[in-house]
A and B are shown apart, each in its own frame.
Chain A
Amino acid sequence: MHLFLLGVSHRTAPVDLRERLDFSSRDLSAAAEAIARRQSLSESVVLSTCNRSEIYVASSDPAQAREELVAFLSDYHHVPAQAFQPHLFALENSAALAHLFRVAAGLDSLVVGEPQILGQVKEAFQTAAGKQCVGPVLSNAFRWSFGVGKRVRTETALGEGAVSVGFAAVALARKIFGRLQGRRVLVVGAGEISSLTAQHLRTQGVGEMVITSRTHAHAEALASEVGGLAVPWDSMINALGAADIVITATGSQRPIVTRPQLQAAQGHRRSTPLFIIDLAVPRDVDPAIGEIEQVFLYNIDDLQSIVEENLSRRKAEVEHAEAIVNEEVTKFMAWQRSRTAVPTVVALRQRFEAIRRAELQRLEGKLGGLSPESRARVDEVTRLIVEKLLLEPTEQLKALPDEETQAAYTEAVNRLFRLTDDEPLDDGRGKRSELPKQS
């Protein structure tokens, strides 16, 4: 049985095509079920995010699996096959496995190292598992991939550092204030960028959020969106005095807050920190304000350069993460081979055990005079001899380097010990001894 993968991702297909092949808005489990019902496909997991639509299947015939999946995609999304075929990528076995591990580790993401993807991979697997669409092939591969994702996260800095302006601002706020619970936020200007940053802060559980804008209706709209309070533009300076975190993003051509204004507004509480995030171009906040002891003033360029620095730091970690992925692929393949040896090993053990019992039975007459203790000792000694004889071959079978060698050895062992036919073995003296049935 082969692991086979067919899909499109941000690396192979433009966004409009990805949108047309997107599963996430539709019933994922139904899609997985429909795929698994197809003739040559026995298992399926559908992974669909805004950057990728990938179908993982188990199949005995990868070429046929590809054909069936293309037909399925075309039928399911009502898109002619020729429209997406040039953008498809297909991978088999260890290559498909490596891809899955890279995806789970965030190495294949648009923003390298982003943390959501591992959760999405888990969810895709659980959805398919819930519909009994996964068997041993996908189940082992996906479960292993969760471990790889976790390992890359803990052993590398791939997911470290904020890589968007909003997250960078939140991360800074946390380094200044620690917990953000109860911190008062003032948003000046109700544009898209201030709204995004405000929402990031909201998810961190900040306290009161006050919003003001030259156009009061805009302030009210944003206030209802993020659960804040809209105040008139005139009271902006007053609100400034009470705030811990200030986001400004107005279209003003001149600074809207000057140093004397801020100092007057802060008055007695000058000693507590104030974090100002100035997202406007040209800047809303007089740069001289940044010189005040307890004020931390960051403008859009400062945040942008933090983001870029973090991105380049993540890129530096890619090599390390790739090495982990490769190591895990090798480990997984070795583990899988050791598992394919299991039936042979079991059969070999059963055969040896059968011979041992048969011989003991045959010698029943001669052993009859022994005391129960001595009988037990004889039983123990023969068992140990069999164990010792089998130890090395078992280890060797499990540790074979590749599938071909594995198949050759398994075949040889099967033939040498006649493990596949039910014919009892010759006892070596020209007549066949009766073997007791295995329990």
Chain B
Amino acid sequence: MNTLPLLLYAAAGVAYAIHFARRDTAVGRTATTLLLFGALVHTFVIGMQTMEVRHVPFANPSRAVSTFVWLFTLSYLYLELTTDERAMGVFILPLIVGLQTIPALYPGMEYQDAVLDSPWFWVHVSSLLFAYASFGLSGILGLTYVLQFKEIKKKHLGYFYTRLPSLQVLDVMNSRAVAVGWVFLTFGVIVGGVWTAQARGIDPTDPNLQAMSLDDPKIFVAMLTWGVYSFSVVARRTLGWSGRRAAWLSALGFAFAMLNFLAINYFVTTSHTFY
């Protein structure tokens, strides 16, 4: 079910790459159209799965990845359509295609745990997925900032100089993406905490709930990620950490987020296993 969006994303990725290399606007428009179409089909897939299990599918890691990819695609499309800037697509699409491969290969079954039967769960996970999508954008924006910065600083105006947006635009977009992501991350973590406390009152024996503490790698890395982005938000305002420093921070933060979302989610976590 997740294969069709994957194929459309892959086609869009190829078109974005050709558009980036040749700077051909017609190809660029094709790329955007393919991506829009992919997102539309993906929306349909997620809608079907939601109807099937009666909540947005994200308790199973593979389905959560699919939902994340969907949110990430929509966030990127929002950025592209509001700024009329297509150059980032070539960096975003490999991530989208790579991640979407996981649910396409391992669809996974959504398991219904009684403890998940709560609006808190929905709010908690969707906030965090949206935060990760923003961080994904900021990470890519950071990476491109560094590429552009290098060429201008070293006076080798080459491949990226002519294709990427200005440093200022990249920096401002990055700072906004980090700020939005930070707000959702903070909110999602708080909701998670409140929900855990409530759920313990209902079912104190649930092993998942027993494991909810900083000893759990997933929660630990989540707090670490929160720390990186909090520092980034504060440092920009007080220490003047904008530009390249902010760019590296957002790349680092996103690396943590992905580590948590993929490696730890699949293999290490002791809590958060609802399947």
Enumerate A139-174 residues with CB–CB distance to B below 8 Å.
160-161, 172, 174
Residue contact B166 to A176, C-beta cutoff 8 Å: yes
Residue contact B243 to A176, C-beta cutoff 8 Å: no
Residue contact B155 to A160, C-beta cutoff 8 Å: no
Q: How far is the CA of A266 from the CA of B68 in the complex (A)?
A: 43
Residue contact A176 to B241, C-beta cutoff 8 Å: no
Q: A273-B167, A302-B155 are in contact. Are A175 and B161 (CB under 8 A)?
A: yes
- Specify which of A175, A176, A270, A298 lies most central, judged by the most chain B CB atoms within 10 Å of its CB: A175
In-complex Cβ contact of A296 among B153, B165, B241 (8 A): B153
A160 contacts across to B, CB distance below 8 A:
162
Which chain A residue has the least Cβ–Cβ distance from B161? A175
Which chain A residue has the least Cβ–Cβ distance from B151? A175
Residue contact B166 to A293, C-beta cutoff 8 Å: no
A294 contacts across to B, CB distance below 8 A:
242-243
Q: Is A177 an interface residue (CB 8 A)?
A: yes
Residue contact B168 to A178, C-beta cutoff 8 Å: yes
Q: Is A203 an interface residue (CB 8 A)?
A: no
In-complex Cβ contact of A298 among B155, B169, B240 (8 A): B155
Q: Is B197 an interface residue (CB 8 A)?
A: no
Q: How far is the CA of A178 from the CA of B148 in the complex (A)?
A: 13
Q: Report the interface size class on chain B.
A: 10 to 19
Interface size of A in residues (CB-CB distance below 8 Å): 21
Which chain A residue has the least Cβ–Cβ distance from B148? A175
A268 contacts across to B, CB distance below 8 A:
240
Residue contact B166 to A175, C-beta cutoff 8 Å: yes
Q: Is A272 an interface residue (CB 8 A)?
A: yes
A296 contacts across to B, CB distance below 8 A:
152-153
Which chain A residue has the least Cβ–Cβ distance from B23? A157
Q: How far is the CA of A309 from the CA of B161 in the complex (A)?
A: 14
Q: Is A306 an interface residue (CB 8 A)?
A: yes
Residue contact A176 to B168, C-beta cutoff 8 Å: yes
Min CB distance, B136 to chain A, in Å? 23
Which chain A residue has the least Cβ–Cβ distance from B158? A309
Residue contact A177 to B241, C-beta cutoff 8 Å: no
Residue contact B152 to A172, C-beta cutoff 8 Å: yes
In-complex Cβ contact of B152 among A175, A269, A271 (8 A): A175
Q: How far is the CA of A271 from the CA of B244 in the complex (A)?
A: 10
- Specify which of B161, B168, B241 lies most central, judged by the most chain A CB atoms within 10 Å of its CB: B168
A175 contacts across to B, CB distance below 8 A:
148, 152, 161, 166-167
Enumerate B144-182 residues with CB–CB distance to A below 8 Å.
148, 152-153, 155, 157, 161-162, 165-169
B244 contacts across to A, CB distance below 8 A:
293
B162 contacts across to A, CB distance below 8 A:
160-161
Q: How far is the CA of A273 from the CA of B243 in the complex (A)?
A: 8
Residue contact B243 to A271, C-beta cutoff 8 Å: yes
Enumerate B228-251 residues with CB–CB distance to A below 8 Å.
239-245
Among all A-B residue pairs, the 5 with the closest Cβ atoms? A271-B240, A178-B166, A178-B168, A178-B169, A177-B168
Q: List 8 A-B contacts (CB under 8 A).
A: A172-B152, A174-B166, A175-B166, A176-B167, A176-B168, A177-B167, A271-B239, A272-B240
